[in-house]
Amino acid sequence: MIRIAVLVSGDGSNLQALLDAQKRGENAAGRIVLVIGDRRCTALERAERHDIEAVGLDRRTLGGKAFESRLLACLGQHNIDLIVLAGFLSILSCEVTERYRRRIINIHPSLIPSFCGKGYYGLRVHQAALHRGVKISGATVHLVDEVADGGPILAQQAIDVLGDDTPSSLGRRILEQVEWKLLPRTVASYCLYMERNMSLLQNLAANRYPGRGIVCGLNERGNAIIAYFITARSSHSKNRCLVAEGDTVRTKAVDESLLVDPSLIIYRAMDRLGEDVVVANGDQSDTILEGLRQGRTLQASLESRTFEPDAPNYTPRISGLFHLGQDPFYTLSILRRSDDGSCDRSYYSYTELEKGKAHLIHTYEGDGNPLPGFKGEPREVDLAGDADSIADRIWEMLDRQYRVAVCVKEINLTGTDAVFAIRQGADNGLY
């Protein structure tokens, strides 16, 4: 489910249209969970009447920087996936639009590119349209970027301009005949689009038991993100946590007295060697790091390893190498058992990195006996936020029955600034 925050400044009639559509069940893939106003306004009262959390952040009192800091914190705390601007009069900074790239929707009361941009808001739009003598007007729903009203258009709808129209009458007809219908319909369609394109969150939410997983890519700030998560079924596998020691993240038993066989559950999950960050679901991480020290590639280093010997599951060994520097790239690998019992070795290298994009690979395709192994290639996913917010989102999307630990490392491509975020606590009474 796509979690929606609506930003408002005034009466909130477009918010009401969204709430009414939600009540009618017209947005199957999304739900409004938060309404934020940049001032105290009637729209917040509408949200409260619908039992939706309403937050007032007075921009004039706080100031621009403090307002956006509070805004981003609030959005992060509520794990917001999509922002809808519904009569929101503040201009969002590049920091906000970049962090939520392609995840902010606005409605503007004209047919963009006409009568839009800086200074065109409220009745000013309709005054300009009538002054120019246009015969049609309408509304546009578009994605928000750093240019005012300049993002990609999602939908438009026109109405005739009448000979006796005033700015007020034209604005009212566009609101009632176009905006109240166009905005809810477009938001619902975009939520479906987000769901169908399977962002990181939806990939995880759709798989009850992904096993162990790796995410590599760039967030919207252009920083490298390397994530590793653990889900487990048995109490033995759940008896572990992640511990960060410098650049190294290791698995460790929560209760050493319950540890029976450490061979497949205790290992170095993440480490760094120079410009290379290695992540893996087993002790092949040691093999990779030793190979790198000897000048070997990831592929060459793993030639001596196969899938895990845990019949009947034969858990795939998954690994990742993120190379930092001027020409960054990352490689993901999976060693899995073929039908004939041999080891299928697959490597996927990504050299043309895009901000906000990553790839996800994990060990299992769901629950079962034996467990169904991962199929196909790593999935491309959207990636936004810092280490903390990504860790929170991954943790929230993992099934509560199976989740054990998540670690996310965020590091700039120069390798000079790194942050770890860890979330853990298996539902087994050990924590």
**pLDDT tens, position by position, 140-177:** 999 998 888 888 999 999 999 999 999 999 999 999 99
User: Which pLDDT band holds residue 29 (cuts at 50, 70, 90)?
Assistant: confident
Residue given tokens 């009850």 in the structure block: 208
User: Which pLDDT band holds residue 430 (cuts at 50, 70, 90)?
Assistant: low
Question: Which residues on neighbouring strands pair with residue 212, listed in sequence order?
Answer: 230
- Distance CA(353)–CA(142), nearest Å, equals 26
Q: What is the pLDDT of residue 199?
A: 63
State the average pLDDT over residues 381-393: 89
Catalytic residue among 50, 108, 126, 142: 108
- Distance CA(54)–CA(45), nearest Å, equals 8
Q: What is the pLDDT of residue 164?
A: 94
Residue 214 corresponds to which tokens in the numbers above?
């790796």
Q: How many residues does the chain have?
A: 431
Q: What is the pLDDT of residue 237?
A: 92
Residue 247 corresponds to which tokens in the numbers above?
């650049």
Burial pattern 33-58, b for ≥16 Cβ within 10 A else e, equals bbbbbbbebebbebbeeeebebbebe
Map out the domains of the chain with their CATH numbers: 2-196 (3.40.50.170), 208-424 (3.60.20.20)
Does the annotation count 108 as an active-site position? Answer: yes
- Distance CA(204)–CA(210), nearest Å, equals 7
Residue 287 corresponds to which tokens in the numbers above?
């093999």
Name the pTM for this structure.
0.58
- Helix then strand then coil, % of the chain, to nearest 5: 30, 30, 40
* Backbone φ and ψ of 54, nearest 5°: -120, 130
For residue 371, give the nearest of 331, 312, 418, 321 by alpha carbon. Answer: 312
Strand order in the sheet with 357-362: 379-382, 357-362, 212-218, 224-231, 403-411, 418-424
Q: What is the pLDDT of residue 391?
A: 93
pLDDT reading at 382 higher than 90 = no
DSSP 73-128: HHHHHTT--EEEESS--SPPPHHHHHHTTT-EEEEESS-TTSS-STT--THHHHHH
Beta pairing, strands 379-382 & 357-362? antiparallel
Q: Which residue has the higher pLDDT, 243 or 145?
A: 243
C-beta atoms surrounding 420 within 10 Å: 19
Identity of the amino acid at 11? D
Mean pLDDT for the chain overall? 91
Identify whether the C-beta of residue 112 lies closer than 8 Å to the C-beta of residue 157: no
DSSP code for 152: P
User: Which pLDDT band holds residue 20 (cuts at 50, 70, 90)?
Assistant: very high
Cis ω on the peptide bond leading into residue 309 (within 30° of 0)? no
User: Which pLDDT band holds residue 36 (cuts at 50, 70, 90)?
Assistant: very high
Lowest mean pLDDT among 18-22, 130-134, 374-378: 374-378
> H or E element: which one contains 181?
helix 180-196
Question: Which residues on neighbouring strands pair with residue 141, listed in sequence order?
Answer: 107, 155
| DSSP three-state, residue 71 | helix
- Distance CA(193)–CA(202), nearest Å, equals 12
- Cβ contacts of 61 within 8 Å, gap of 6 or more: none
